[in-house]
């Protein structure tokens, strides 16, 4: 199972009229496991957001420090206050402790039940009910799964299952069974749909049932156990010209998406691989700030170097919305990286004198430091696996 990758992602829509989301999703990646938590704070707005965020960070912290998942849930319930009038907790949650080998432990507290998808079907799951030592009108359920390649786990807040409530054809809302049918339809339509895309499609469908004005905070999250999607990024010429052939050899042998960032790098690989480069001149008219991309046989994306890399890094750090970004080399590079699981950067160490010119913009950092920052952001913020090779 070590050759497989566990992808975790989510999509969220705030309740109409609110800027703060009362749902919270948080994932943290350790050496051998991934902890993902979805919490739904009671009510809406800032108060709900604080309670939900407190829940997700507590849960992730406890389990990351090797606390048993059942004990972590009990501590959270003991810590969070209880509504005096309704006798329910101030936050519901779903906690998933996932090993990279596909073994999952899941505990649920009053969120809609998760959907376990295998071979185009929703699989039944045996769950253990854990008594809650209080007067809460709620339940705590524990279950274990052992994922096989292409398995998915979908979980969501009640803003999804209750979407459209009151409509003639949805008097009680979308409800779990219809949500599960929709999930299966998405998987059948695209058997390789990513965790991020399926979460987005489900959340947006729920918002559609609410008349595109979310009646509650909507959050959907997914885990997807599959073969990793690999990408290699070449940037910068090698320190020695004799290593140009080594660079070409790495490109020739790599299986996955291939990206070049830098005109000099592209010229070297074009020469060594005996292939031509065609610049996409149409892009010059649309965006004068960001240099255009180019086409080159054997490569999925070819862009200019430091300007494009710096702009893309900023977008990643700011968690920019891809859907709202104009079509450009930056958007294409960001999308390629986000669609990947394992990203390898092959970084040339020859110094480009132009980048030491103090008259140039400050964001033209030395390439090596720039790529180290890429690895930091992609691993911490987006849970990717990265590696840098200097040539």
Beta strands 103-109 and 140-146, pairing class: antiparallel
DSSP letter, residue 174: S
Query: pLDDT tens digit string along 184-238?
Result: 999 999 999 999 999 999 999 999 999 999 999 999 999 999 999 999 999 999 9
pLDDT at 323: 84
CB 98 within 8 A of CB 35: yes
CA angle 116, 120, 126 (to 5 degrees): 30
pLDDT at 1: 42
pLDDT at 109: 92
Q: Give the mean pLDDT of the chain.
A: 89
Least confident of 6-20, 87-101, 115-129, 299-313: 87-101
C-alpha dihedral (176, 178, 184, 186), degrees to nearest 10 = -110
CB-CB neighbours of 93 under 10 Å = 27
CA angle 85, 91, 92 (to 5 degrees): 115
DSSP letter, residue 112: P
pLDDT at 84: 55
Least confident of 53-62, 73-82, 353-362: 353-362
pLDDT at 363: 37
Say whether domain 5-226 belongs to CATH 3.40.50.11540: no
- End-to-end, the C-alpha distance of the chain in Å comes to 32
Beta strands 103-109 and 277-279, pairing class: unpaired
Beta strands 121-122 and 218-226, pairing class: unpaired
| pLDDT beyond 50 at 113 | yes
Helical axes 175-189 vs 195-209, angle rounded to 10°:
130
The token pair at 382 is: 């987006």
pTM of the predicted structure, to 2 decimals: 0.84
Q: Of 19, 42, 194, give the one whose Cα is nearest residue 109.
A: 42
Burial class (CB within 10 angstroms; exposed 0-12, middle 13-18, buried 19+) of 371: buried
Query: pLDDT tens digit string along 173-182?
Result: 999 999 999 9
Query: pLDDT tens digit string along 261-281?
Result: 999 999 999 999 999 999 988
| pLDDT beyond 70 at 2 | no
| pLDDT beyond 70 at 330 | yes
pLDDT at 175: 95
Q: Residue 129 CA to chain centroid, in angstroms?
A: 31
Burial class (CB within 10 angstroms; exposed 0-12, middle 13-18, buried 19+) of 199: buried
| pLDDT beyond 70 at 288 | no
User: Token pair 């809302």 is at which residue?
Assistant: 173
Query: What average pLDDT does range 282-305 have in this prediction?
Result: 87
The token pair at 33 is: 């496991």
DSSP string, 318-385: TT--GGGSPSSHHHHHHHHHHT-SEEEEEE-----GGGG-TTS-TT---HHHHHHHHHHHHHHHH--E
pLDDT at 362: 42
The token pair at 200 is: 């987005």
CB 154 within 8 A of CB 113: no
pLDDT at 132: 74
Q: Of 201, 175, 203, 174, give the one whose Cα is nearest residue 187.
A: 201
Q: In the chain, where does the domain assigned CATH 3.60.40.10 lie?
A: 5-226
Query: What average pLDDT does range 2-17 have in this prediction?
Result: 90
Choose between 283 and 309: higher pLDDT: 309
CA angle 339, 184, 160 (to 5 degrees): 80
Least confident of 143-152, 155-164, 197-206, 363-372: 363-372
pLDDT at 287: 61
Residues contacting 253, CB < 8 A, separation 6+: none
| pLDDT beyond 70 at 337 | yes
| pLDDT beyond 70 at 352 | no
pLDDT at 136: 57
């Amino acid at each position: 199972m070590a050759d497989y990758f566990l992808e975790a992602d989510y999509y969220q829509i705030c309740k109409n009229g609110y800027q703060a989301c009362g749902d919270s999703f948080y994932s943290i990646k350790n050496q051998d496991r991934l902890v993902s938590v979805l919490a739904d704070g009671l009510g809406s707005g800032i108060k709900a957001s604080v309670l939900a965020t407190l829940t997700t960070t507590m849960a992730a912290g406890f389990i990351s420090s090797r606390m048993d998942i059942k004990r972590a849930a009990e501590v959270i319930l003991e810590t969070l206050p209880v509504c005096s009038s309704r006798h329910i907790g101030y936050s519901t949650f779903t906690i998933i402790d996932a090993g990279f080998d596909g073994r999952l432990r899941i505990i649920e507290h009053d969120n809609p039940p998760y959907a376990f998808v295998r071979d185009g079907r929703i699989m039944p799951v045996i769950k253990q009910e854990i008594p809650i030592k209080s007067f809460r009108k709620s339940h705590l359920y524990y279950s274990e799964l052992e994922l096989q390649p292409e398995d998915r786990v979908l979980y969501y807040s009640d803003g999804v299952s209750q979407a459209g409530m009151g409509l003639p054809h949805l008097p009680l809302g979308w409800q779990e069974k219809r949500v599960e049918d929709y999930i299966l339809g998405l998987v059948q339509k695209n058997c390789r749909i990513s965790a991020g895309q399926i979460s987005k499609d489900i959340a947006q469908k729920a918002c559609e049932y609410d008349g595109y004005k979310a009646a509650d905070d909507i959050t959907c999250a997914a885990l997807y156990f599959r073969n990793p999607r690999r990408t290699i990024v070449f940037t910068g010429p090698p320190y020695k010209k004799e290593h140009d052939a080594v660079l070409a050899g790495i490109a020739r042998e790599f299986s996955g998406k291939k990206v070049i960032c830098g005109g000099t790098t592209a010229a070297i690989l074009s020469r060594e691989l005996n292939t031509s480069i065609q610049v996409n001149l149409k892009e010059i008219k649309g965006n004068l700030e960001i240099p255009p991309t180019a086409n080159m046989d054997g490569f999925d994306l070819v862009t200019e170097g430091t300007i494009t890399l710096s702009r893309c890094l900023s977008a990643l750090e700011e968690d920019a919305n891809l859907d709202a970004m104009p079509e450009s080399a930056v958007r294409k590079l960001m999308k390629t990286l986000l669609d990947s699981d394992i990203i390898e950067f092959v970084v040339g160490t020859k110094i480009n004198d132009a980048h030491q010119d103090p008259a140039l913009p400050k964001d033209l950092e030395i390439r090596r430091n720039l790529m180290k920052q890429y690895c930091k952001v992609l691993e911490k913020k987006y849970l990717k696996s990265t590696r840098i090779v200097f040539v």
